């Protein structure tokens, strides 16, 4: 596989047929008129080719001027809601990604940075966790679905406009309600940055359950057998409970040894910080993993948890990382935040088209055989850092070998190549 290859027309035709998305893209034609659909198709094809995805490249593929393409993103008549609804219906038409109550809804945010001299509307100073600094840009709300079989797909992306909201959590609550109307998922998983009592109360009001990471020193109210003497004046709010920190409780309890580490389950606890909005009792799950300095502390809206259920919820929280990998894929391969659009409407339209391209590529991976070179190539694409030259050379080598030696076990050969050169194992 290390040599100079001469590719003939039959090989390239086979490559194009294998990576053809024309039929899948045509499913979205109903949402556009003829002229607008040409721009839509050009943008999606450019995104799927893993190109630099600049506005000039989009315009060149659509055979339009740059001003005409800007008009497509900013003022053309097409609906983001209809495109996203059609995308979700196509994804959920498959049995393995059908909308079920056993799914998990994951919420998280990311940042779309802008240049310092950018004059885009609604731009503000936001904290970029990757750069560990405050940058000029947009805060992006993200929601993803993870099925019980660990298949992920993005649900929606939304740009936060600080001009319309008094606080960011008001916008998060509206985004949450919007997402819950479009999924049957019963469990909502969020990280410790979402420990907002109003957000958690909104989840319960919609009839769903939450799982949120909390701190080790968080005070909670737990049941006690001690009888308190009645005193004059104001009576305590929870007369049959005492207030203690999670750390203090664990110091007086023995943990349960599991294959994931030492586990503690504190049932029927009321979190002191949420007691006014979230009045129902919760379960505190603590897992001290081997090799980690700090334990993992989770709060579930279920008041009582068995050990098996607690470990299951821990696994659900670990699957929250899927939304982080989705953000990484969208940013690295589909250039989610690398655009020169200056209105929030246009940016959200660009986000929607990135989600369409991402879903088409994931759909192609699921429909292919697990050991097929196409599947391995797409899996490699979605995991690695953006490097077009390496990917192009790798794919051409792969398909050349497939075209001249059909009897060769190309799947194992390709897997060995990835493991040797890039450290990726199937």
Mean pLDDT by 10 residues, the chain (426 residues): 40 50 89 89 79 68 78 90 94 90 92 76 79 83 90 91 88 95 94 90 94 92 73 68 89 88 91 88 90 88 90 90 79 71 87 89 72 62 50 52 48 58 54
Is residue 341 exposed (0-12), middle (13-18) or buried (19+ Cβ within 10 Å)?
middle
Other C-beta atoms lying within 10 Å of the C-beta of residue 257: 9
Structural domain that includes position 404: 1-19+368-426
**253 and 330 housed in the same domain:** no
Hey, what's the torsion of the CAs at 62, 66, 69, 70, to 10 degrees?
A: 170
**284 and 329 housed in the same domain:** no
* Number of independent structural domains in the chain: 3
The reported pLDDT for the residue numbered 374 is: 61
Q: Of 328, 343, 358, which one is at a domain's C-terminal end?
A: 343
Q: Which residue, among 351, 381, 344, has the nearest Cα to 50 in the 3D structure? A: 381
**86 and 178 housed in the same domain:** yes
**334 and 288 housed in the same domain:** no
Residue at 168 is within a domain: yes
The reported pLDDT for the residue numbered 303 is: 87
47 phi and psi angles, rounded to 5 deg: -65, -40
Quick: pLDDT tens for 385-425.
Answer: 444 445 555 555 555 444 444 444 555 655 665 565 555 55
State the Cα–Cα distance between residues 423 and 426, nearest whole angstrom.
10
State the Cα–Cα distance between residues 128 and 372, nearest whole angstrom.
38
The reported pLDDT for the residue numbered 381 is: 58
Residue at 72 is within a domain: no
Residue at 313 is within a domain: no
State in Å, rounded, how far the first CA of the chain is from the last one: 20
**275 and 377 housed in the same domain:** no
**1 and 149 housed in the same domain:** no
The 10 Å CB-count burial string (b at 16+, else e) for 383-410 is: ebeeeeeebeebbebbbbbbbeeeeeeb
The reported pLDDT for the residue numbered 15 is: 45
Longest dimension (CA), the chain: 93
Q: Which residue, among 417, 397, 400, has the nearest Cα to 14 in the 3D structure? A: 400
Return all residues near 285 (Cβ < 8 A) that are at least 6 apart: 263, 264, 265, 266, 297, 298, 299, 300, 305, 310, 313, 314
DSSP code, position 195: -
Q: Give this prediction's pTM.
A: 0.81
213 phi and psi angles, rounded to 5 deg: -85, 135
Residue at 357 is within a domain: no
The reported pLDDT for the residue numbered 265 is: 93
State the Cα–Cα distance between residues 354 and 10, nearest whole angstrom.
31
The reported pLDDT for the residue numbered 407 is: 43
Quick: pLDDT tens for 49-78.
Answer: 755 566 777 777 777 778 888 888 888 999
* Strand-pair category, 124-128 with 152-159: unpaired
**105 and 177 housed in the same domain:** yes
Quick: pLDDT tens for 254-284.
Answer: 889 988 889 999 989 999 999 888 888 999 9
Are 186 and 101 in contact by the 8 Å Cβ rule? The answer is yes
Are 315 and 339 in contact by the 8 Å Cβ rule? The answer is no
Residue at 418 is within a domain: yes
**171 and 90 housed in the same domain:** yes
Are 188 and 208 in contact by the 8 Å Cβ rule? The answer is yes
């Amino acid at each position: 596989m290390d040599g100079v290859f001469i590719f003939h027309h039959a090989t390239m035709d086979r490559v194009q047929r294998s990576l053809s998305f024309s039929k899948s893209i045509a499913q979205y034609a109903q949402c556009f008129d003829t002229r607008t659909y040409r721009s839509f198709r050009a943008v999606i094809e450019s995104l799927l080719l893993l190109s630099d995805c600049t506005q000039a490249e989009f315009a060149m593929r659509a055979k339009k001027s740059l001003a005409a393409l800007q008009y497509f993103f900013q003022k053309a008549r097409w609906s983001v809601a209809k495109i996203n609804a059609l995308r979700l219906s196509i994804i959920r038409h498959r049995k393995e990604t059908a909308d079920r109550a056993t799914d998990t809804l994951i919420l998280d945010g990311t940042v779309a940075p802008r240049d310092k001299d950018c004059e885009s509307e609604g731009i503000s100073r936001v904290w970029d966790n990757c750069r560990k600094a405050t940058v000029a840009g947009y805060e992006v709300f993200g929601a993803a679905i993870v099925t019980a079989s660990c298949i992920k797909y993005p649900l929606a992306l939304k740009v936060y406009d600080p001009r319309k909201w008094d606080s960011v959590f008001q916008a998060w609550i509206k985004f949450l309600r919007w997402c819950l109307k479009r999924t049957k998922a019963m469990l909502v998983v969020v990280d410790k940055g979402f420990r907002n009592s109003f957000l958690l109360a909104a989840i319960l009001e919609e009839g769903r359950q939450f799982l949120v990471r909390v701190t080790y020193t968080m005070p909670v109210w737990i049941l006690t057998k001690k009888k308190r003497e009645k005193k004059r004046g104001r009576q305590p709010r929870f007369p049959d409970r005492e207030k203690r920190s999670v750390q203090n409780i664990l110091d007086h309890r023995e943990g349960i040894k599991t294959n994931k580490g030492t586990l503690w389950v504190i049932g029927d606890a009321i979190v002191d910080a949420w007691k006014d909005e979230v009045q129902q009792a919760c379960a505190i799950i603590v897992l001290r993993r081997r090799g980690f300095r700090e334990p993992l502390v989770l709060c579930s809206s279920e008041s009582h948890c068995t050990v098996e259920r607690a470990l299951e919820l821990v696994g659900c929280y670990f699957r929250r990382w899927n939304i982080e990998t989705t953000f990484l894929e969208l940013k690295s391969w589909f250039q989610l935040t690398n655009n020169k659009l200056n209105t929030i409407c246009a940016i959200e339209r660009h986000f929607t088209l990135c989600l369409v391209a991402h879903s088409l590529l994931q759909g192609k991976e699921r429909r292919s055989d697990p050991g097929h070179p196409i599947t391995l190539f797409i899996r490699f694409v979605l995991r690695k850092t953006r490097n077009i030259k390496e990917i192009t050379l790798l794919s051409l080598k792969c398909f050349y070998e497939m075209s001249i030696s059909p009897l060769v076990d190309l799947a194992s050969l390709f897997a060995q190549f990835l493991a040797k050169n890039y450290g990726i194992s199937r």
